Chain A
Amino acid sequence: DAGVTQSPTHLIKTRGQQVTLRCSPKSGHDTVSWYQQALGQGPQFIFQYYEEEERQRGNFPDRFSGHQFPNYSSELNVNALLLGDSALYLCASSLVGQQETQYFGPGTRLLVL
């Protein structure tokens, strides 16, 4: 049973660039949430996708956008990167009606120079 997978594992970008991170949910899951974890902090909720639509969004600017595909996989896009966007980006999947039980991927570590 494949768990949540994320790609790439590490990424280095420069300020102003754009980045796309990818997530494949656990088999059978249909809901994907994205979190940002800055160094030394807890994860912060970015947004959640279900049925290819954004259901709820945290306190993140519009530079952060996402997409969910028919196969339930998801992308997180960040435009106009800032140094402060450097973080571990975590994807979590769950089943609708059981959103409280989330399974997390290993994360993508983004460094913005």
Chain B
Amino acid sequence: AQSVTQLGSHVSVSEGALVLLRCNYSSSVPPYLFWYVQYPNQGLQLLLKYTTGATLVKGINGFEAEFKKSETSFHLTKPSAHMSDAAEYFCAVSTGGFKTIFGAGTRLFVKA
């Protein structure tokens, strides 16, 4: 069975500071991994995904994530936070099938 754990339901950073959102997964087969962002009263937008190949994945809006199999992690980072990054972020896992499992989400606050 697959599962996702997002460490920290809330993360607060200052504008210009590093953003680090943590995600650990569990999967019995090689996983596909995703990060989505959700702004208030909106659906989910795909930030980036890992399927195969390069373990460092670059996404939209300056975000990137690194797949570390030995640590079963897929943490999301951005070197410099912007006010517009304030949103809810979801890590997700699938095994290329039909079902995607989402974490509980991390709300990112950006302070001016």
Chain A residues at the B interface, C-beta cutoff of 8 Å: 4, 33, 35, 40-45, 48, 55-56, 58, 90, 92, 99-107, 109
Contacts and interface: CB of A to CB of B under 8 A. Distances in A.
Contacts of B99: 45, 48, 56, 58
B56 to A, nearest CB: 18
B88 to A, nearest CB: 9
Interface string B16-56: 00000000000000001010100001111110010100000
Contacts of A56: 97-99
Contacts of B104: 40-42
A109 B4 CA distance: 25
Contacts of B44: 43, 90, 92, 104
Interface of B: 4, 32, 34, 36, 41-46, 49, 51, 90, 92, 94, 96-105
Contacts of B34: 100
A42 B105 CA distance: 6
A64 B45 CA distance: 25
A104 B98 contact: no
B98 A42 contact: no
Contacts of A92: 44
A100 B45 CA distance: 14
A4 B100 CA distance: 18
Given A45-B99, A56-B99, A106-B42, A100 B105 contact: no
B49 A101 contact: yes
A107 B90 contact: no
Contacts of A102: 46, 100
Given A45-B100, A58-B99, 12 more contacts: A35-B102, A41-B104, A48-B99, A55-B98, A56-B98, A99-B96, A99-B98, A100-B96, A101-B46, A104-B44, A107-B42, A109-B41
Contacts of A100: 32, 34, 49, 51, 94, 96, 100
